[in-house]
Amino acid sequence: MALKIVKGSIDRMFDKNLQDLVRGIRNHKEDEAKYISTCIDEIKQELKQDNIAVKANAVCKLTYLQMLGYDVSWAAFNIVEVMSSSKFTYKRIGYLAASQCFHESTDVIMLTTNQIRKDLSSPNQYDTGVALTGLSCFVTPDLARDLANDIMTLMSHTKPYIRKKAVLIMYKVFLKYPESLRPAFPRLKEKLEDPDPGVQSAAVNVICELARRNPKNYLSLAPLFFKLMTSSTNNWVLIKIIKLFGALTPLEPRLGKKLIEPLTNLIHSTSAMSLLYECVNTVIAVLISLSSGMPNHSASIQLCVQKLRILIEDSDQNLKYLGLLAMSKILKTHPKSVQSHKDLILQCLDDKDESIRLRALDLLYGMVSKKNLMEIVKKLMLHVDKAEGTTYRDELLTKIIDICSQSNYQYITNFEWYISILVELTRLEGTRHGHLIASQMLDVAIRVKAIRAFAVAQMATLLDNAHLLTGNTQRNGICEVLYAAAWICGEFSEHLENPMQTLEAMLRPKVATLPGHIQAVYVQNAAKLFATVLKGQEGDADGTAAQEATQLMIDRLPLFVQSANLEVQERASCILQLVKYIQKLQQKDVDVAEEVSALFAGELNPVAPKAQKKVPVPEGLDLDAWINEPPSESESEDEQPKAIFAKEETKHSRPRHTEVDEKELARRREARKQEQANNPFYIKASPSSQKVYQDAPGVEHIPVVQIDLNVPLKVPGLPMSDQYVKLEEERRQKARADKKKKEKKKRKEKRSGRGKKHDSGPESEEDIAPAHMVDIVTEEMPENALPSDDDERDPSDPHKALDIDLDKPLADSEKLPVRSHRAAEAQKSPTDGETENATLQEPKKKSSKEKREKKKDKDRDRKKSKEEKKKKKHKDEDKEEDLLGGQADEAVLQSEETSQVAAPPTSASTPAEEAAAAAEAAPEPSVTAPDSEPDEPKDTEMEETKSSKHKKKKQKKEKEDKKKKKKHHHHHHHGDGGGEESVQNGTVEEEEPLPPMSNYCLLAENSYIKMMKEDAEEVYDIQGNLQDGSQVVVSVIFENKCSSFLKSMEFNVLDSLNSKLQRPEGSGPHDGLVVPFQLPPGVSNEARFVFTVQSIVMPQKLKGTLTFIVKNEDGSTHEKLDFKLHFTCTSYLITTPCYSDAFAKLLESGDLKSSSIRLEGVNMPFHHLLARICFHHHFSVVERIDSCASMYSRSIQGHHVCLLVKTSGETVSIDAKCDEPTLLGNVLDEIKQTFSQC
Amino acid sequence: MIKAILIFNNHGKPRLSKFYEHYNEDTEQQIIRETFHLVSKRDENVCNFLEGGLLIGGSDYKLIYRHYATLYFVFCVDSSESELGILDLIQVFVETLDKCFENVCELDLIFHVDKVHHILAEMVMGGMVLETNMNEIIMQVDAQNKMEKSEAGIAGAPARAVSAVKNMNLPEMPKNINIGDISIKVPNLPSFK
């Protein structure tokens, strides 16, 4: 063993470090993968060694390999090991690796809770910092819950460095554990006014992130932010605040009004472009929120637009980009002010920078009108031709379609032009947007009835030239267009000039190369076409044409019947059989056309995409209600349905009063029309009634200009959209002339009071009447569709959970879970007796309990009473026994609680501040995990932090006086650390919840003060440590139980030969250690003391004294409290996981001495037993098979301890092996003791 | 929020990748490749903003990058970050690297990616900007390095010597330096332009 260590440390020098690895990879350019795989093998070897330095080096290399794309999750456990090193150097490596590759489903994360907690409370600020940084990357809901309170405490750390990190990480905690938001919020708010600018900025940052998602909850902070905005000079903070205001103003227009002035001032005064830009952005947001009814802000709009123009004209591309970006925001509400800069924007379309062109495209969307649409699209089509990259070209394509189709094709006056644009777009090769074009074609053809004939003609041409589209087959995308083409040709085949030819085109063998879903449409629509052909030919004297068509179908369909695509196959074979049957009938000269076309009769109406969602739940239908009442419910509920029906009736039936005024009648008429229009079963007189309404007065009364015959009905080859531009021009001129004539008539009508408001477009647009009757069939919605257009947020959005009212006072149940003592504080010293009254203690206990339990109200009551009982019982010295017994009892009661107990059994947290935040101000005792970094200088650092923290508190507290006595009390401690490890190798299943276990014990107590000791926690004994002994850290919680102020506490221990308290340099061996804080009444705090231990094979006892000054109004008195510290042997064991193969090797090695014990009458489930050993004695389960388990632990000095635990009935036998028999004997004795107590 | 920070060279070799959201290794590599593809084809004098790629994107996200000598520094951020602010942050980052490595060049990043991570950790934490003041960042980084040195103490000396010897003995070392020795020139940009 020792040899191995020595060898290891020499080897280490020649180990490959990160630099060597990188160098190696660079030298193996040809066989990099092979080289890296050998490196990974080396790393695996290194990870097997005990030397932490070697491990850290290996983990460091893994982090690099992870960046290169290698999965390193297999080393997750080693990363945890390195994280738990006490050396900052290694710890940092470990946390970095963890932050790079841990994520929520990394299972070892649950092992880190205690380590992180320990690091968070480390006296070394960089340990804390590193832990916070790491945690921010891999925090999970469990970690967030368990550590929320610790982090919250750190928000008030004395070091700004820690404060700012703690404040920032709270955001991550909130996301993962939304319950923590309310308790933590007051402190977060406090940090907005932190003296340190970094902390302040962090707090602003966090609140801005929160407010961005749920702005309404943060409105109450507006005055505070307003103050910050006017006082802060930090641009980062200003930008964040201004962005935040941008999010808040839509909710509170009054805020907007107040903001305008300071923001405009900033715009004028600042030299920082970023700030200027954000100000402009927020002013825009304000103006948007004010846009209704605030006319006198045009000056601000002008200012913004003007500033943005300056940005856009700047030579710096970044500013140009941002200017356009902001411009697009103005566009939504003040399109006119943007439209005046059309020149500039069109100019940007020609910019060489793609990002800028894209932004300009966005703006175009708002710039089109009926007048200029064709012109703009023409320009865009030119760009499409020029564009090299497919991404930009695709973007152009979607933009063209967006621009044209916006608000129900509002700006399109000539749909023939649009169809030809779409057809032109199909010539783009390799676009991803084939389906987009296809859906536009379908949409237009279905909804604009007048265009169908034209569309069908175009589609027939497309189908005829399908080979052009599918030429290079795997260019996919665009062939989607054929889907639309085939469907349109089939569905509206009555408009086809030459259906036979199209039918032939659709049944070409080449079709079989198209994707399955398109083939299916082809087959189906071929059948429709076939019906049309039949119908067309029926009248003819000789039925040869019809028979030809039938023959064609019969010839070509078998190709599709063989298709691998089920849909195609099924349709084809159905239709083939049908056609064969028709052929039979034809041969008998039976007229079949009618019947065949009846197969495809009827028209499909477009359905709105949200229609399904908008179907209202019928009144009286409660989807959550029981269909059959559960038997226990009372009968009275049966009556309910009746009531519902009655209600429904009143609502649905038309009002019955006979006198209805004119208005009401008109309203109803309108409503009925609307309803009819929406009803697919209602046969419409004019199917387009709705659009006509929208489309302004003109349309209803002016005869619609019909399609001019100068538009060729059949376009040979593919059409050119350009010709339509010219045609449209001519048409418009003609229309204008027409219009002038009708002007008079129209005016008359207008005067007669029928004039309606026009749509919002510029007035000149009225002049352009659409070329077609733009009878856009509106999409169908279900009857009684819900009116709201609520686009619900994605339910998986983590921010949804953070929509929490922050102004409500905190309820008890909301406090953060705090690691608190179990029954320990329930006990009272027997020698004490007199002064303490039970009532004083009761609430304390309750509060701490409540925190832990949170939701489990039910249990709480039960537990409380239990606790009370217990308290009465425990009036004597042998608390521990009762304590454990009590816990065992409780276990049964609290089975639901186990998730919490099992996960963070050794969790710790810092104390009293919590009380301040909590509404219930009862002080609660709690403990912080011991620290693993016991160096003296750091300790003093901690002292400083603590004491100043408490000074603040002191001022708040009143002082009272009281006289007391002291007493002391000694205690055993229980093990800690293990609970979770029991699950660690995955062998302990969740059979039954584990009982709660505690690792605190009362050290001593008198009427002034109570000392709680958390179990001695060992420092990893690292090779190369300068001391040859081991260090043990003991956490002691001091709780002020009296109403006076306690100060000048000094902790002293009589050193034994074996164990020594570590004292600061320069102090004598008998000097006490100053406890680094003072205690106001009712407050508890925790300090850590480091002991150096030589031999660990025997348990140790140390006598000690705590002296302190009780200060009250009458003056101060010196008091003291004696105690005994007990180090058990198990407290020298560290929970060390061990894999079964290593375990087997260890057992085989033969240098272990064995021993065994037998426990009788152990009446608990096996996994409880294991958990107990894990928890109290720091073992981990290596392997478990039925009622037999192997366990492993290691002492701080490297002794291996192996256990084989078997159970049969109530007998448990433990065979143990260890390389140090004395240690083993003691450990076994302690295990025995643990179980004799249950 | 910052979603990811990537540094890669002109050939798309990753020099640092920091994702503040979890992706598996393959996706990460794909994102790096895609981002490189997007960024590398852009001219020098175009704007530094880019609509996010498909993998990392979403309409709320943007790529904000700067190109220094042989390296691209790319930040993927959402709309809560100020675009110009992030550009400035990249500048601060590079200047900090320059101070910490004394005339930083690509080789520094290649061989000391861990140190770069540590520096970055002082600026950005969990996707949120932690500190923008360069002096403060350098101070904290230095303090931590000092601590590391004191921990290594005497024991660290032989290891350092060995590594120095290793570097000396390897003939390819100077060659490598020549390959990537174009030190990143940090242009002096006015803060918050």
What is the ipTM score, two decimals?
0.90
Q: What is the pLDDT of residue A96?
A: 93
| Residue in B111, B130, B162 closest to A165 by CB | B130
Look at residue B52 in the predicted model and tell me its pLDDT. Answer: 64
Lowest-pLDDT range of A229-243, A377-391, A555-569, B60-74: A377-391
H helix or E strand, kind and range, residue A1039: strand A1030-1040
CB B1 within 8 A of CB A209: yes
Instruction: Round to whole Å and give the CA distance between A195 and B103.
Output: 35
* Chain B residues in contact with A320 (beta carbon < 8 A): 47
Architecture of the structural domain at A1001-1127: Sandwich (2.60)
The strand ranges marked E within A255-358 are none
Question: What are the Cα distances from residue A430, in Å, to A357, A388, A390, A474, A727?
Answer: 21, 12, 8, 9, 31
Q: Mutate which of B130, B139, B162 to test chain A, going by most A C-beta atoms within 10 A?
A: B130
Kindly tell me if the per-residue pLDDT of A458 is higher than 90.
no
Residue A691 has pLDDT above 90, yes or no: no
Considering only CB atoms, B17 lies closest to which of A67, A317, A322, namely A67
**Rounded distance between C-alpha atoms, residue A709 and residue A75, angstroms:** 77
Who has greater pLDDT, A1144 or A639?
Answer: A1144
Strand ordering across the sheet containing A1115-1127: A969-970, A1115-1127, A1100-1112, A1045-1053, A1073-1074
Q: In a mutagenesis test of the B interface, which of A61, A274, A312 is the best target, namely the one with the most B β-carbons within 10 Å?
A: A274
β-strand partners of A1030: A1093
- Tally Cβ neighbours within 10 Å of residue A1170: 26
Handedness of CA A1051, A1056, A1062, A1066 (dihedral sign): positive
**More confident: A1190 or A885:** A1190
CB-CB under 8 Å, A275 with B191: no
Residues B26-54 pLDDT 10s:
889 999 998 998 888 888 888 888 876 66
Chain B residues inside the 8 Å CB shell of A93 = 114
Rounded Cα–Cα distance for residues B81 and A547 (Å): 70
- Contact call for A353 and B47, based on CB within 8 A: yes
Determine the average pLDDT of the residues in A827-840. Answer: 41
Beta-strand relationship, A1045-1053 and A1030-1040: unpaired
Are A171 and B114 inside 8 Å of each other by CB?
no
Length of chain A: 1238
Q: Tell me whether B54 touches chain A (CB under 8 Å).
A: no
Q: How far is the alpha carbon of B159 from chain A, nearest alpha carbon, in Å?
A: 5
Report pLDDT for B121: 93
**Whether B60 contacts chain A with CB within 8 A:** no
Tell me the CB-side half-sphere exposure of residue A1053, using CA atoms within 13 A.
23
Q: Do B126 and A13 touch (CB under 8 A)?
A: no
Residue A668 has pLDDT above 80, yes or no: no
Residues of A with Cβ-Cβ distance to B112 under 8 angstroms:
18-19
B9 interface with A at CB cutoff 8 Å: no
Residue A1193 region by backbone torsions, left for phi larger than 0, else alpha for psi between -120 and 50, else beta:
beta
Per DSSP, what are the bridge partners of residue A1087? A1036
- Cβ–Cβ below 8 Å for A274 and B192: yes
Q: Which residue has the higher pLDDT, A974 or A165?
A: A165
Tell whether the model's pLDDT for residue A634 goes beyond 90.
no
Q: In the structure encoding, which two tokens stand for residue A268, read together?
A: 């004028």
Mean pLDDT value of segment A693-700: 40
The closest CB to that of B80, out of A68, A243, A356, belongs to A243
Chain A CB within 8 Å of residue B91 CB = no
Token digits of residue A414: 């000539």
Query: Based on the number of CB atoms within 10 Å of its own CB, is A1220 exposed (0-12), middle (13-18) or buried (19 or more)?
Result: buried
Region A94-122: mean pLDDT is 89
Chain B residues closer than 8 Å to A63 by CB: 113-114, 117
Name the B residues in 70-89 with CB < 8 Å from any A CB.
80, 82-85, 87-88
Q: Do B193 and A320 touch (CB under 8 A)?
A: no
**Fold entry, domain A109-213:** Leucine-rich Repeat Variant (1.25.10)
Picking from A808-817, A1025-1034, A1053-1062, A1135-1144, which range would have the lowest pLDDT averaged per residue? A1025-1034
Percent of chain A with pLDDT over 70: 65
| Contact: B82, A278; criterion CB under 8 Å | yes
Mutate to test the interface with A, among B106, B111, B123, B181 (most CBs of A within 10 A): B111
Specify which of A115-129, A392-406, A433-447, A678-692 reaches the highest per-range mean pLDDT: A115-129
pLDDT at B23 over 80: yes
Q: What is the mean pLDDT of residues A197-223?
A: 88
Distance separating alpha carbons of residues A1167 and A1172, to the nearest angstrom: 8
> Which of B43, B147, B192 has the CB atom closest to A88's CB atom?
B147
Comparing A536 with A92, the larger pLDDT belongs to A92
Pairing of strands A1115-1127, A1100-1112: antiparallel
* Paired sense of beta strands A1188-1195 and A1180-1185, if any: antiparallel
> Does A172 score more than 80 pLDDT?
yes
Q: Which secondary-structure segment (H or E) carries A745?
A: helix A722-749
Q: In 10 A of CB A906, how many CB atoms?
A: 27
With CB atoms and an 8 Å threshold, state whether B111 touches A356. no
pLDDT tier, A688 (very low <50, low <70, confident <90, very high otherwise): very low
The minimum CA-CA distance between A406 and chain B, rounded to whole Å, is: 19
Contacts of A235 in chain B (CB under 8 A): 85, 192
Fill in the amino acid letter for A249.
Answer: T
> Comparing A593 with A15, which gets the higher pLDDT?
A593
More confident residue, A839 or A867: A867
Beta carbons of A13 and B162 less than 8 Å apart: yes
Q: Are A1033 and A1070 in contact (CB under 8 A)?
A: no
pLDDT > 90: percent of chain B: 37
The span from the CA of A973 to the CA of A1035, in Å, is 12
Q: How far does the CA of residue A203 sit from the closest CA of chain B (Å)?
A: 10
Residue A165 — φ and ψ, nearest 5°? -65, -40
Assign A817 a pLDDT band (cuts: 50, 70, 90).
low
Which residue in B81, B139, B192 has the most chain A C-beta atoms within 10 A of its own C-beta, making it the best mutation to test that interface? B192
| pLDDT of amino acid A940 | 41
Say yes or no for a CB contact (<8 Å) between A66 and B25. Answer: yes
DSSP letter (8 states) at residue A294: -
The pLDDT score that the predictor gives to residue A472 is 55
Closest C-alpha among B68, B104, B70, B67 to residue B180: B70
Please say whether the beta carbons of A1176 and A981 come within 8 A. no
Assess whether pLDDT exceeds 80 at residue A185: yes
Q: Classify strands A969-970 and A1115-1127 as parallel, antiparallel or unpaired.
A: parallel
Closest to A1024 (Cβ–Cβ): which among B148, B155, B172?
Answer: B155
- Which of A12, A15, A23 to substitute to test the interface with B, most B CBs within 10 Å? A23
Chain-chain contact of A202 with B130 (C-beta, under 8 angstroms): yes
Interchain proximity B163–A17, CB inside 8 Å: yes
Instruction: For residue range A385-402, list pLDDT tens digits in order.
Output: 877 667 778 888 888 888
CATH of A1133-1236, one of 1.20.1050.10, 3.40.50.2300, 3.30.310.10, 3.40.50.261: 3.30.310.10
Q: What chain B residue is nearest to A321 in terms of C-alpha separation?
A: B47
How open is the CA angle A485-A486-A491, to the nearest 5 degrees?
100
**Which of the 8 DSSP states describes residue A993?**
P
- Convert the pLDDT of each residue in A1195-1235 to its tens digit: 877 788 888 888 887 888 888 888 888 888 888 888 888 77
Q: How confident is the model at residue A741 (pLDDT cuts 50, 70, 90)?
A: low
Nearest to B113 among A64, A198, A354 (CB): A64
Q: 């640092």: which residue's tokens? A: B16
Q: Is the pLDDT of residue A730 over 80?
A: no
B139 touches chain A (CB under 8 A): no
Mean pLDDT over residues B104-113, rounded?
Answer: 88
Query: How far is CA A551 from each of CA A534, A892, A1222, B152, rounded to the nearest angstrom?
Result: 12, 82, 100, 91
In whole angstroms, give the CA distance from residue B170 to residue A1047: 63
Find out whether A150 and A926 touch, Cβ atoms under 8 Å.
Answer: no
CA proximity to A1089, closest of A1063, A1057, A1114: A1063
Query: C-alpha angle with apex A1080: A1078 to A1083, nearest 5 degrees?
Result: 100
Q: Which residues of A382-405 are buried (b: 16+ CB within 10 A; e: fewer)?
A: ebbeebeeebbbbbbbbbbbebbb
pLDDT in the model for residue A600:
83
**CA distance to partner chain A, nearest, from residue B121 (Å):** 7
| B46/A355 touch (CB, cutoff 8 Å), yes or no | yes
Distance from CA of B97 to the nearest CA of A (A): 18
As a whole number, mean pLDDT of residues A1055-1064 equals 77
Of A507, A539, A512, give the one whose Cα is nearest residue A525: A507
Residues in chain B with CB shorter than 8 Å from the CB of A311 are: none
In whole angstroms, what is the distance from residue A523 CA to residue A508 CA?
11
Q: pLDDT for A793-812, tens place per residue?
A: 555 666 777 777 776 766 66
Q: Which of A89, A205, A243 sits opposite B152 (nearest CB)?
A: A89
Percent of chain A with pLDDT over 90: 7
Q: Give the HSE-up count for residue A29: Cα atoms under 13 Å, Cβ half-sphere.
A: 4
For chain B, list the domains and their CATH numbers: 2-145 (3.30.450.60)
Q: Are strands B49-51 and B62-68 parallel, antiparallel or unpaired?
A: antiparallel
CB contact under 8 A, B118 and A26: no
- CA-closest candidate to residue B115, choices B146, B145, B90: B145
User: Is B87's CB within 8 Å of A318's CB?
Assistant: yes
Cα–Cα distance for residue pair A935/B147, rounded to 1 Å: 13
- Substitution target in A20, A136, A232, A245 with the highest count of B β-carbons within 10 Å is A136
- Show Cβ contacts of residue A239 under 8 Å, excluding neighbours closer than 6 positions: A274, A275, A278, B82, B85
pTM for this model (two decimals) = 0.55
Residue among A96, A243, A1024 minimizing CB distance to B117: A96
Q: Supply the mean pLDDT for chain B.
A: 80
Mean pLDDT, chain A, integer: 72
- Categorize the per-residue pLDDT at A542 as very low, low, confident or very high, splitting at 50, 70 and 90: low
Q: What is the 3-state secondary structure (H, E, C) of A62-124?
A: HHHHHHCCCCCHHHHHHHHHHHCCCCHHHHHHHHHHHHHHCCCCCHHHHHCHHHHHHHHCCCC
DSSP 8-state secondary structure symbol assigned to residue A752: I
- What distances in angstroms separate CA A952 from CA A156, A187, A190, A808, A957, one per listed residue? 11, 15, 15, 26, 9
- Residue A1019: the pLDDT is 38
**Nearest chain B alpha carbon to A243:** B80
User: How far is it between the farthest Cα atoms of chain A?
Assistant: 127
Length of chain B: 193
pLDDT at A383 over 60: yes
> Which of A14-23, A302-311, A884-893 has the least mean pLDDT?
A884-893
| pLDDT exceeds cutoff 70 at A258 | yes
Across the interface, whether the CB atoms of B148 and A89 are under 8 A apart is answered yes
User: Residue A659: pLDDT above 90?
Assistant: no
Least confident residue range of A621-625, A768-772, A829-833: A829-833
What's the pLDDT score for residue A907?
A: 39
Q: What is the pLDDT of residues A1111-1163, one digit of tens each?
A: 777 777 888 888 887 778 777 777 777 777 777 777 777 777 888 888 887 77
The predicted model gives A953-961 an average pLDDT of 41
3-class DSSP state of A974: coil
Identify the residue with better confidence: B95 or A962. Answer: B95
CA pair distance A1227, A1098, nearest whole angstrom: 9
d(CA A942, CA A1197): 27
- Is A705 within 8 Å of A731 (Cβ atoms)? yes
User: How far A283 CA sits from the closest chain B CA (Å)?
Assistant: 15
- If you write DSSP's letter for every residue of A796-832 in order, what string do you get? T-GGGGG---SSSPPPGGGSPP--B-SSGGG---TTT
Q: Which of A718-727, A818-827, A1067-1076 has the lowest mean pLDDT?
A: A818-827
Q: Are strands A1084-1093 and A1153-1159 parallel, antiparallel or unpaired?
A: unpaired
The per-residue pLDDT for A400 is 87
